[in-house]
């Protein structure tokens, strides 16, 4: 049995990128039963669960966190000792095009789930209430944009600048309010930009890898000097498990990978890795495909996470450096082209989204 102290965990969004990794980890460790609630929107994929999908300790339920009756029924039937809420609309460009979808899932969905969890938790026995946890998985984008120095800490003010970030911030505030008003044992985590296998190719790293392999242009917003703090998804899920086990109720934890890079630095590194691992491409060197395009409206300039609290209180650190993890990721997408082709077929052709005039 692994270090996770909980027998049954309800994971929302467990067929998504981060959620499926978290489910795979829990099932792989043994001793845990996972109830996986996912709506299976365009970015959800059961294949990303691997062997966990058919495992006897994994139960998949297709459904929407906005469905109050379903949430209540699942909690009553499955009796989880923890709820880890990962279900969300998460792509900034899509939030620019369709903010209503983000309000519905990220705000209304979180509220609906919180209400169901509050009622379920209130009916538990005293000992069960004491050990129950609700984990809200959020983003560093709620903090807004940094200048050239400094890092986000758990005390940084929320200043969201995109519809996506605003809806995640609203959800985080609801979670905080439910702890302080009702006593619900909640914890919020705010992670930096995740990457790794099974990430839907609308996000920068898989998009650039696949475009480089296909000889398509590599669009870089603005001057390419926007900075992100990159975090490998497996490391993030390690942190989530530790938060469930050791995290202090009513607080938050920033999870960052010590991986600050400009976008142009990341794209050129990806180009060099594709040239190295897929030699003989007609369009090599892949750097020749780089194309600077109009910037994203309201594009945050820099993110950087200070993960000191995770390190000191939970003993968490990334297992490997960014360069090694990026190599592993590029190799995975080269070796799993059929997965990327299947998940995007007829749904997303790697075209740019979120094209509106900045005000």
Question: Which residues are catalytically annotated?
Answer: 140-141, 164
Q: Which of 267, 256, 183 is nearest to 225 (CA)?
A: 267
Sign of CA dihedral 327, 329, 334, 336: positive
Examine residue 169 and say whether the peptide bond preceding it is cis (omega within 30 degrees of 0). Answer: no
Instruction: Give the max Cα distance, the chain.
Output: 66
Distance of alpha carbon 159 from alpha carbon 143, whole angstroms: 5
Sign of CA dihedral 151, 243, 266, 95: negative
Q: Order of strands across the sheet with 260-262?
A: 193-195, 227-232, 260-262
Distance of alpha carbon 175 from alpha carbon 88, whole angstroms: 15
* Residue 280 region by backbone torsions, left for phi larger than 0, else alpha for psi between -120 and 50, else beta: left
What is residue 302's DSSP assignment? B
Sign of CA dihedral 259, 260, 263, 267: negative
Within a 10 A sphere around the Cβ of 62, how many other Cβ atoms? 13
Contacts of 276 (CB under 8 A, 6+ apart): none
Q: Which of 133, 146, 145, 228 is nearest to 189 (CA)?
A: 133
Question: What SS3 class is residue 332?
Answer: helix
CA 17 to chain centre: 7
Token pair for 85: 């809420």
Beta pairing class for 260-262 and 227-232: antiparallel
Sign of CA dihedral 318, 248, 75, 81: positive
């Amino acid at each position: 049995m692994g270090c996770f102290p909980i027998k049954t965990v309800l994971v929302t969004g467990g067929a998504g990128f981060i959620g499926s990794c978290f489910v795979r980890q829990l099932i792989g460790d043994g001793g845990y039963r996972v109830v996986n609630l996912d709506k299976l929107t365009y970015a959800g994929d059961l294949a990303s669960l691997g062997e966990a999908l058919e495992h006897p300790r994994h139960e998949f339920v297709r459904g929407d966190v906005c469905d109050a009756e379903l949430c209540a029924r699942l909690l009553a039937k499955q009796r989880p000792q923890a709820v880890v809420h990962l279900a969300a609309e998460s792509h900034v460009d899509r939030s620019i095009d369709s903010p209503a979808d983000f309000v519905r899932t990220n705000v209304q969905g979180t509220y609906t789930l919180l209400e169901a969890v509050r009622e379920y938790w209130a009916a538990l026995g005293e000992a069960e209430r004491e050990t129950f946890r609700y984990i809200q998985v959020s983003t560093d984008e709620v903090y807004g944009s940094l200048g050239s120095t400094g890092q986000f800490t758990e005390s940084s003010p929320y200043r969201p600048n995109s519809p996506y970030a605003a809806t995640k911030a609203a959800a985080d505030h609801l979670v905080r309010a439910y702890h302080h008003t009702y006593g619900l044992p909640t914890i919020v985590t705010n992670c930096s930009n995740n990457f790794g296998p099974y990430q839907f190719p609308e996000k920068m790293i898989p998009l650039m890898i696949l475009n480089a392999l296909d000889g398509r242009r590599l669009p870089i917003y603005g001057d390419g000097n926007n900075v992100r703090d990159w975090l490998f998804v497996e490391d993030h899920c390690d942190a989530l498990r530790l938060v469930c086990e050791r995290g202090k109720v009513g607080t938050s934890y920033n999870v960052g990978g010590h991986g600050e890079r400009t976008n142009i630095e990341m794209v050129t590194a990806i180009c060099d890795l594709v040239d190295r691992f897929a030699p003989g491409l007609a369009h090599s060197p892949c750097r020749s495909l780089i194309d600077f395009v109009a910037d994203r409206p309201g594009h945050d300039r820099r993110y950087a996470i200070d993960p000191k609290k995770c390190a000191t209180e939970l003993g968490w650190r990334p297992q490997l450096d960014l360069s090694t993890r990026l190599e592993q990721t590029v190799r995975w997408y080269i070796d799993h082209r059929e997965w990327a082709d299947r998940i995007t077929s007829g749904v997303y052709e790697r075209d740019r989204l979120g094209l509106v005039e900045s005000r």
